[in-house]
């Protein structure tokens, strides 16, 4: 099976949309990797579409709302303010995956943010999502200050950048990158092509042996 990685940041509404569709489009054998979008922006010299031009921001928000409706998701409720500082939230996500509750925390946090309008820049909201996901909020709060957790998030972000990730959501299929919620189907198609090629390669590798047996 191909190596499949989903890079996300909890502050991204498009990553939220991708997360809601991930299992349906790409199945469950996907590695979910928290990264810091703010750090990626610093590494790449880019900025968010949600900052700067008000018309671009409104168009982007309208597109998120349109896609949520198209996908059958609840109406989007935007946190106020949005975007915010999601560093603690991403450290909490990093710890949650280490603790075996990563997917539960990620989906709870995404839904709190974009279905309820919860501001994940507020520590109490991050800890509420953690508790709702089955984590001990006191342990999570401590973990977000743990140097090893901080380093894990930093290393994951740096590794994603070296691979070529410059934004989220991004899905990597054996290192080939697909950026955007609207590229999930392309990623699934690439996964199928890779699988078919491996099957062909395996058959080609067995062919000489099969011919010897036939003789």
Summarize pLDDT for 125-169 with one digit per residue, the tens: 999 999 999 999 999 999 999 999 999 999 999 999 999 999 999
Q: What does the pLDDT average to over 118-128?
A: 98
For 89-124, the DSSP string reads HHHHHHHHHHTT-HHHHHHHHHHHHHHH---TTSHH
Q: How high is the pLDDT of residue 2?
A: 78
**Would you place residue 199 in the very low, low, confident or very high pLDDT band (cuts 50, 70, 90)?**
confident
Q: 25: which residues sit within 8 A by CB, 6+ positions away?
A: 184, 185, 187, 188
Summarize pLDDT for 58-107 with one digit per residue, the tens: 999 999 999 999 999 999 999 999 999 999 999 999 999 999 999 999 99
User: Is the distance from CB of 51 to CB of 204 less than 8 angstroms?
Assistant: no
Q: What does the pLDDT average to over 25-50?
A: 96
Domains of the chain, each with CATH number or no CATH: 4-214 (3.40.30.10)
Q: Can you give the pTM of this predicted structure?
A: 0.91
**Would you place residue 197 in the very low, low, confident or very high pLDDT band (cuts 50, 70, 90)?**
confident
SS3 (DSSP) at 70: helix
- Dist CA 150 CA 155 (whole Å): 9
């Amino acid at each position: 099976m191909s190596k499949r990685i989903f890079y996300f940041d909890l502050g991204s509404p498009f990553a939220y949309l991708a997360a809601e569709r991930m299992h349906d489009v790409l199945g469950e054998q996907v590695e979910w990797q928290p990264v810091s979008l703010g750090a990626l922006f610093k590494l790449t010299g880019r900025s968010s579409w949600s900052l700067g031009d008000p018309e671009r921001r409104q168009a982007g928000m309208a597109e998120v709302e349109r896609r949520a409706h198209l996908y059958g998701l609840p109406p989007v409720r935007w946190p106020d303010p949005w975007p915010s500082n999601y560093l603690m939230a991403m450290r909490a996500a990093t710890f949650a995956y280490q603790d075996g509750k990563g997917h539960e925390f990620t989906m709870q946090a995404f839904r709190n943010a974009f279905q309820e309008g919860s501001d994940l820049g507020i520590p109490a909201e991050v800890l509420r999502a953690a508790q709702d996901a089955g984590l001990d909020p006191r342990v999570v709060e401590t973990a977000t200050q743990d140097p090893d957790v901080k380093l894990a998030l930093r290393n994951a972000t740096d590794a994603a950048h070296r691979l070529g990730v410059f934004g989220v959501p991004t899905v990597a299929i054996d290192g080939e990158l697909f950026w955007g919620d609207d590229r999930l189907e392309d990623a699934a198609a690439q996964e199928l092509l890779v699988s078919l090629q491996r099957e062909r390669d395996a058959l080609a590798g067995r062919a000489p042996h099969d011919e010897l047996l036939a003789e």
